[in-house]
Every structure is written in C-alpha cells, then in structure tokens.
Chain A
Amino acid sequence: MKTKKLTFDYKYGFSVKSKNVFTAEKGLSEEKVRMISQMKGEPKWMLEKRLQAYNFFLKEKMPEWGADLSSINFDAITYFIRSTNSQVNSWDDLPAEIKDTYDRIGVPEAEKKFLSGVSAQYESEVVYEKVQEVLVKQGVIFCDMDTALKKYPKIVREYFGTLIPYSDNKFAALNTSVWSGGSFVYIPKGVKVMLPLQAYFRMNAQAFGQFERTLIIAEEGSSVHYIEGCTAPIYARDSLHSAVVEIFVKTGAKVRYTTVQNWSKNVYNLVTKRARADKNATMEWIDCNLGSQITMKYPAVYLMGEGARGEVLSIAFAGEGQHQDAGAKMIHFAPNTTSRIVSKSISKEGGRTSYRGLVQVMPGALNSSVFVSCDALLLDEVSRSDTYPTMRIKNNESTIQHEATVEKIGEEKLFYLMTRGLSKIDAETAFVNGFIEPVVKEIPLEYSVELNRLIRLEMEGSIG
C-alpha cells in the first residue's frame, strides 16, 4: 500500500515569536542550578535538593531499556526561561502574543464552559492563573509550584520528592535539579471538587526543555479530577520534556489525572508519574499519548492501604517516526487492593507503540486482584507493536490476569461499513474511534471531541 505523507497543516503547528524576559544559556552546570534557585528566591533546602539531584544526574547512566534516547544532547538544551516579569491574574492582562497562542488552543472557550480553574503554563512559568472563588472558599489550593513553594513551604517540603526521590531515575534527577513551574493542588479533608481542574502546558522556545513539577495532595475523603493537556508548535530542533508528577491520595479520597499529550513530533517526552493510594482510596490515570517523537511514560500507583484501587487507561498513537513507549505500574502492598490497566495502541506509517508494564503483588497484599488488557492495532505493514509486561506475584491469595491482542483492521468490517455508504477513510476512522472508545468515554467531552478530530486528521494523512 502506498502511503501519502501528511499534507494537512499540523493542527497546532504554529509558533508565536518568543519574547522572553530572561533566557539562561544552553547546557547545564552547578552554577546554573544555583542561579535558577537564586532567581526564584527559593529556601535553602530546595537549593540543596537541586544540587544533590544534579550530582546524581551526572553520575546516573541513561536507561538501557526502552526507546532509543541516544540523540539527546543535554548541552544543547536551555534549562530555564522566564517568559514575563510577573504573574498576571486576569486574562485581559496577558501579553497579546501569549493570548494569541492560547486563543488558538482554545483556552478561553474551555474556560467559559466547564473550568473551575485555568492555570496555563507558557514556557517555564505559569503566567496566567485563575482559581474560581468557590474553590478558594472550599479551601482548595490550586497554583503553580513556584508560588506554592513561597506561600506554603511547609506542605511542599513535607511531600516534595518523597514519592519520587531524585535517585529514582536519571530524568527524575534532571527534573529535580532544574524544575520550574508545574501545578500544586491541595484538597482539604472531605472536600469534593466537582469541576475538573485544568492546566495547559506548552513549550515555545527552540531546544528548550520543560521541567515542570506537579504535586497533588488529596486529604481524607476528598476528590478531584485534574486535567493536563499538551499541544506544542513544531520546531526543527530536538526538545526535551521531562516532568515529575507526585500524587498523594489519602484514606477514602479519589483522584483522577487525565493527560492529553500532543507534543510536536520532535519532542522527547520522558515523564515520571507516581501516585500513592492509602486505605480505600482510588487513583485513576487516564493517559492519551498522541504526539512527541519519543514518549517514555509509565504512570504508577502504589497501593499502600487496604482496599485501595488503582486504574490506568491509556491510548497511544504512533505515526511516522514516532515511538510511544508507554504503560503502567501497579504495586500492591496491602490486602484487598485491586487494579486495572487498559491500554489501546495504534501504529501507522512506520510508527512504533510499546506497552511496558509492571504488576507486583507483595506477600502482604492478600486477596488482591489485577486485570491487565492491552490491545494493539496495526494500520499498515511498516508499523510495529510490542508488549512487554512483567508480573511478579508473591502470595497465593490474589488473582492476576493479563491479556493482549495485536491485529489489523478487518477487511470484512471495512467492507461492511463501505457497503453502508461510508468512504474508506470514514470507515477506518470509525473503526479506530471504536477501538479507543473504552478509554475515550472516560475523558471529558471537549477532550474526546478534540481527540476524535485529531485521530481523523491522522487517518486522512495515511490513506492514499
């Protein structure tokens, strides 16, 4: 089958002229780490943590498994940019260029609809942030991490880096040493946030790595849905995105974290995400990976309390030159814990999707159950799909199930849809959308509409 190159304009492939107030030189050194900390006016303990992490980063080797990361040049990346002088609270006060960028992604529209708070990250720092009064009244804290460190140093210090220490992996160390921006969410005991909290992340400078750091703490009996959406303009130079997300779900609390990742296709997206679920708590990751050149991301749930539940629903879409190495980790420590992983991946035009997962059931996690299902769809003969699950079970009162399938779109199904008057593209799009439906129905409407549209755009590109 002859495949056509993508001819349509990349939906979010625009860039606004960068007007940065301060840009650090490229490359990383101890001085630079000190400078970032100093410019932010951080407390001493944070500087020390950054420096420890930096030293670990230097020593630690690159991961020898997973995607090919050999072309990352750490010296060609800018580690810190401050895009405007001070933070602004209302939309009208935003600089015109930044507003223009957001207008095209649709932030204001989205805000009008359902949003309880918009925290839009432009380059390294959050420049626009608005938290509705209701949230403030409930005692919910939703701000960027830099502000949180200034205003709530005690909470940040108590939790920062305790779930993902800098020594976890090379990229967690890199993030800890140069982190900037990201969201801080604190939900007090018993508070249920009805509307989703939302943040857009965006990179807009060439070869500039974005190292945001997100910390979510849901106290006893609370619940929150946090959404992270990513779109980025296309640039020629390689870009690195390496985030760390730590989530604490206390007794009986519920947190859902939704990501729609659509970085431009030159971005290395290397992210460490981990949640801790206490007694009867529920943690859900919904993870859609569409963009980037290489993604390595395995959202994890540590089920620490009895009756805790963890869930990961993920979609990966890999087109030409892309490698989505995504998956999930579930570690069961306590009795009666349950987890479910559902992964759907689609490869086309030589793209490669890999599911990589770990399920571990400790001796104390009696009567636990795990269900893993990975389905892969291959759209042409040059694409590739892999499944690398690991299951370690250390007690005999738990049940663990894993299943995976790989297939292509059935000719008969396509033929049937076409006899009903659908064009080939429509039929294939319908099939792909049906394939990812179990995950898509879990994400808010505006995202699922956008997702379905993106899939259609991708499909149109692939049919000759």
Chain B
Amino acid sequence: MNTQLIEIKSENSKLLFDKPGTYVVFFSNISGKISCKITSEKVELYMIGLYDIKNTDKYTIQTEQIHESPHSFSDLYILSLIKDISSFTFSGLIRIEKNAQHTHAYQKNQNVLLSKGGFVDSRPILEILADDVFCTHGSTTGPLSKDQLYYLQTKGLTKLAAEKASIDGLKSLVYNRLEKLKVKSRKLKAKKTHD
C-alpha cells in the first residue's frame, strides 16, 4: 500500500482518517493545532515534526491523536533544536475512546537546548478510556551530549564541527524515519533548514 504524505502548512488543521492505509503527516516550524482523528481500522499514522528555531522565534504547537476506532496505530515524533532565545511549546494529546480497543499509540518529544536563553514547555497528555491498548509517551529535554562532543573532539573535530555533527545526527533521526516510510524527504529537507 502506498504511503500518503500530508504536509501541514496552515495553522489549524483537522485531519480525518477514515480509510485504512499508511499516512505520514509532516510539519516543520509551524504554530497552531494539528488534530488527527482516526475513525477507521488499520490506519497507520505517523506524525513527524521538526523544529529548528533561533533568535526570538516563538512556536506553540498542539497536536491530537484521537482514536475512535479499534485496531489502529499512531506515532508522533517531534524534534526541536532551540537556539538563541527562542522558545518552543508543545502540547500533545493521545485520546483513546472506549471502543478503540487494540490501539497502539505512541508519542515522543525530544528537545535540544543549544543556547542558554532557550525555553521549552512540553506537555504530552494521555487520556485512555479503553483497556486493551499499548500506549506510551516520552519527553526529553537537554543540551547536546557532552560525552558525544568530547568523543568527536578526541577524533580531531573542532568543537564547532563536533556540535554540527551532533546536530546533523539528531536531524537524521527525523529524515531516517521519513525515508523508512518511503517518503521523499529531499523536498522537505531543502526547505526547513534555514542556516
């Protein structure tokens, strides 16, 4: 089955998934609300977000994964790289309604603070009304790994180059996901890295 790519560009998007299939929702450096409602069985939904922000940028993103039908799957992954005094606010909801048994729903938010003045507010929310489900969420926030940076420097990279390599490595987490889903990420890739 073909993977369908949906790129979010407008501030408020309401998406309805009422037919089986694999869907990828991609968004990058955008504020607003993305609401995904699954009303069909056998929906495989990937929501992937990349935030690469700097200066006084302020982004607030709200996501919803609402499961109203059994036997579906959704997976959200948001990576944010925060520079200067920019700020990133994420609030994501997984809601599994009573009849949506056998749902698998996942949510992961990784935030990397690359400067002193950055700010992160992360709220991953679960509301589970069915029992036979697998549901997890995770959120991490922190700087680049000091061990990794040190290791790269022992191999002869300058501090700056080591940082760039680490950041590129993190971004590839997003691109690899897209590639695995057979989404042509080159088009997406060109657009959002603004430095």
CB distance B141 to A399 under 8 Å? yes
CB distance A387 to B134 under 8 Å? no
CB distance B136 to A393 under 8 Å? no
Q: Given A396-B118, A396-B143, A407 and B133 touching (CB < 8 A)?
A: yes
In the complex, which residues of chain B have a beta carbon less than 8 angstroms from the beta carbon of A379? 131
Main SS at interface, chain B? strand
CB distance A386 to B125 under 8 Å? yes
In the complex, which residues of chain A have a beta carbon less than 8 angstroms from the beta carbon of B114? 396
Choose one: B101, B115, B123, B133; the contact of A396 (CB below 8 Å): B115
B122 to A, closest residue via Cβ: A391
CB distance B141 to A380 under 8 Å? no
A381–B99 alpha-carbon span in the complex (Å): 9
- Asked if A389 lies at the interface with its beta carbon under 8 angstroms from chain B, I say yes
CB distance A405 to B98 under 8 Å? no
Q: Given A381-B101, A396-B113, A397-B143, A406 and B135 touching (CB < 8 A)?
A: yes
B145 to A, closest residue via Cβ: A399
Choose one: B113, B129, B132; the contact of A384 (CB below 8 Å): B129
- Return the CB mask of B126-146 against A: 1 if under 8 Å, else 0: 111111111111111111000
A193–B8 alpha-carbon span in the complex (Å): 60
B101, B115, B129: residue with the most chain A Cβ atoms closer than 10 Å: B129
- Count chain B residues whose beta carbon lies closer than 8 angstroms to a beta carbon of A: 34
CB distance A400 to B139 under 8 Å? yes
A381–B82 alpha-carbon span in the complex (Å): 41
A165-216: which have CB < 8 Å to B?
none
- Asked if B111 lies at the interface with its beta carbon under 8 angstroms from chain A, I say yes
- Count chain A residues whose beta carbon lies closer than 8 angstroms to a beta carbon of B: 33
In the complex, which residues of chain B have a beta carbon less than 8 angstroms from the beta carbon of A363? 116
- Asked if B124 lies at the interface with its beta carbon under 8 angstroms from chain A, I say yes
Q: Given A381-B132, A385-B128, A393 and B123 touching (CB < 8 A)?
A: no
CB distance B125 to A399 under 8 Å? no
Q: Given A393-B120, A396-B114, A403 and B138 touching (CB < 8 A)?
A: yes
In the complex, which residues of chain B have a beta carbon less than 8 angstroms from the beta carbon of A402? 122, 124, 137-140
In the complex, which residues of chain A have a beta carbon less than 8 angstroms from the beta carbon of B111? 393
CB distance A387 to B125 under 8 Å? yes
Q: Given A394-B119, A396-B116, A406-B133, A387 and B140 touching (CB < 8 A)?
A: no
User: Least Cβ distance of B64 to chain A in Å?
Assistant: 14
- B residues at A contact (CB < 8 Å): 82, 98, 101, 111, 113-116, 118-143
Contacts A387-B137, A393-B119, A401-B140 given; 9 further ones with Cβ under 8 A? A386-B126, A393-B120, A396-B118, A400-B141, A403-B138, A404-B137, A406-B128, A407-B134, A407-B135
